Amino acid sequence: MTVLVTGSRGRVASTLIGLLDAAGVKVTAGSKNPADLSPPPGVDTVRCDLTDPTTFDTALTGVDSVFLYAEAAHVGAFADRARAAGVEHIALLSSSSVLDPDAAGNAIAAAHLAAESALSAAADTGAFEATHLRPGAFATNALHWSWALREGRAPALPYPHAYGDPIHERDIAEAALAVLTEPRLRGSSYLLTGPESLDFTEQLAILAEVTGRPAPHTVPTPEEWKESVSGFMPEAFADALLSYWASHDGRPTPLTRTVEELTGHPARTFAGWATDHAAAFRP
């Protein structure tokens, strides 16, 4: 079996590549800029730009399974080329946001929903099997606070008591490893969460304890926060985040045991993630 991993510069994908290689699975690391990759020795790289369909055929040659990031722009074309290449299985890194009632109207959720829909439509024709991995809040989202905390400043949180279910990137990668290497797990949708529902203030408190440094925060209005990120974040994405945080404000996130069911071990805690990444929050 040969697995193409797209988005190989990402934390989940790069971890998955190492896991597949260690398991003896032939893996190819795909990226828009493969020269920037540093995969394990013996792992091939290939240009696979999910925004450029002309790169698909070469990347998919000889591939049996794909780990696919949810780039919606050309996912229909990717599915068509995967079918033509004889791909048997695509595991999509989607998002739990597709389950929200207003998913179609949320820019972030809508992109994942479009990717899921395109792959499901292809799978329904018998082209290949499609598996959807739907993680909740990535623990790595906390890295957005690292610049401020390293400099002793307070991150701005318009909804400091918005809850999430922070999941370690390695748990997502191990779940992907399971569905890519166990045929019986193919063709389903898996809701992945961390083991705890924590609001932002609780996550900051854990970071403070792990790093031994203060982790304060400020509380701007949603409008103030949106203005502060306007220089680097599209308005639709800022609105999507604000909407998500507002809907989870003071509302603990339901948890699943899917990580444990797929990997054989409980999901890693946020404190464990913070320990693994403590250096990012220290000067």
The rounded percent of the chain whose pLDDT value lies above 70 is 100
Give residue 212's pLDDT band: very low, low, confident or very high (50, 70, 90). very high
pLDDT at 214 over 90: yes
Please choose, from the candidates 46, 85, 42, the residue with its C-alpha nearest in 3D space to the C-alpha of residue 65.
Answer: 85
pLDDT at 19 over 90: yes
Domain 138-167+195-253+268-283, CATH homologous superfamily name and number: NAD(P)-binding Rossmann-like Domain (3.40.50.720)
Please choose, from the candidates 258, 100, 246, the residue with its C-alpha nearest in 3D space to the C-alpha of residue 167.
Answer: 258
In this prediction, residues 167-191 reach a mean pLDDT of: 98
The rounded distance, in Å, linking the Cα atoms of 224 and 232 is 15
What pLDDT sits at residue 102?
86
- The whole-chain average pLDDT of the chain stands at 97
In this prediction, residues 74-103 reach a mean pLDDT of: 95
In this prediction, residues 264-272 reach a mean pLDDT of: 98
**For residue 1, what is the DSSP state?**
-
For the chain, where are the alpha helices, taking DSSP H only? 11-22, 56-60, 75-85, 107-124, 146-150, 169-181, 200-211, 222-228, 235-247, 258-263, 270-276
Indicate the domain borders of the chain: 2-135, 138-167+195-253+268-283
Q: What order do you get walking across the sheet with 44-47 strand by strand?
A: 44-47, 26-31, 2-5, 65-69, 89-93, 129-135, 189-192
Within 13 Å, how many C-alpha atoms sit on residue 138's CB side?
A: 16
pLDDT at 282 over 90: yes
Query: Residues 37, 45: contact at Cβ < 8 Å?
Result: yes
Query: Residues 46, 34: contact at Cβ < 8 Å?
Result: yes
Same fold, 2-135 and 138-167+195-253+268-283: yes
What burial letters (b/e) apply to 101-134, b meaning 16+ CB within 10 Å?
Answer: eebeebebbbbbbbbbebbeebbeeebbbbbbbb
Query: What is the pTM (predicted TM-score) of this model?
Result: 0.96
CATH fit for domain 2-135, picks 1.10.3720.10, 3.90.700.10, 3.40.50.720, 3.40.50.300:
3.40.50.720
